[in-house]
Amino acid sequence: MTNKTILKALNGETQAVPPIWMMRQAGRYLPDYKATRAQAGDFLSLCYTPDLAAEVTLQPIRRFGFDAAILFADILLLPQALGADLWFVTGEGPRLSTITSDADFAQMKSKDDIHETLSPVYETVKIVARELPKETTFIGFAGAPWTVATYMIAGRGTPDQGPAHALREGNNALFEKIIDLLTVSTIEYLDMQIKAGAEVVKIFDSWAGSLKGDAFEKYAVAPARKITTELKKRHPNVPIIGFPREAGDGYIGFHAKTGVDCVALDNSVSPEWAAANVQKDGCVQGNLKPSHMVTGGQGLIDEVRHIRETFSKGPHIFNLGHGITPDADPDNVTLMIETLRETV
């Protein structure tokens, strides 16, 4: 038995007040984060300095009292550990050396060679696990193979993941080798996070929505199933959250197809639709529009109450439908939490 509300929800328990955490809760909207990042010097140095990465992981817990902390890291640390060059351009985001040929792929490391690069991340996990309040759940994470592959193939984020789709269709053998390498490497990465102290892990498939039909089944569902199946063999009591963002009807049956304990929902689906079609199969997470963290006010209050009520008949973790944005007002985060936890 556990007193941790997140773990209760992930075990299928319906609670009068759902637990809450927030994607990107440790980040650029917080002045304390900005100060710590300045101390680190740059984003990657922050990710790879365990004391500072642990500090920014813990900041929103101290400030807001969320029910879970999520590891501060980046989904592109894994391709860097596999041998890709990674850097960040201020105001524009990440850049990677690309994999577009078999010769490029041949330069990649194996799943067994990632841990030296990622060892600072595991140390961050150990620090946070030691310092978190006893009632707070610790969530580790990784990017899903498809989403990480889109960056590795294009060398950056793209509006439509076009380069990855082009490689998938034009050189499917190479594309599948990339997906397979990322799948087995993600298993090892999350396994080490769990061994270091993560109590839950989440698989972020931020670009799942651009996979349609059979491609969604092959490159969003199947890798998630492989990762979940293997992690459950090694850690049968560790829950897994899947987030196939903008999957639409692909959310239906995602619990059963992949074995995840919870399906995180973006805000392109309504709570009513998700309660009827997804929550019936297990815990759901979501799905407040991140824009409410900017605008606040009665609109925020009404939508928090609406989501809480709509998902009140089953296990639910309250969250945003995507990550909080840098222009969000921390006072609106406080308002969201107070509204969710008001006497009902």
Kindly list the catalytic residues.
24, 28, 37, 74, 151
CB 150 within 8 A of CB 198: no
Q: Where do we find the tokens 């009665």?
A: 298
Chain centroid, CA 333 distance in Å? 19
CB 288 within 8 A of CB 266: no
CB 27 within 8 A of CB 320: no
Distances (CA, A) of 79 to 89, 91, 110, 145, 151: 17, 21, 11, 10, 9
Separation between Cα atoms, residue 124 and residue 120, nearest integer Å: 6
Q: Where do we find the tokens 């500072």?
A: 52
Q: Counting every residue, how long is the chain?
A: 344
Separation between Cα atoms, residue 120 and residue 50, nearest integer Å: 6
CB 69 within 8 A of CB 58: yes
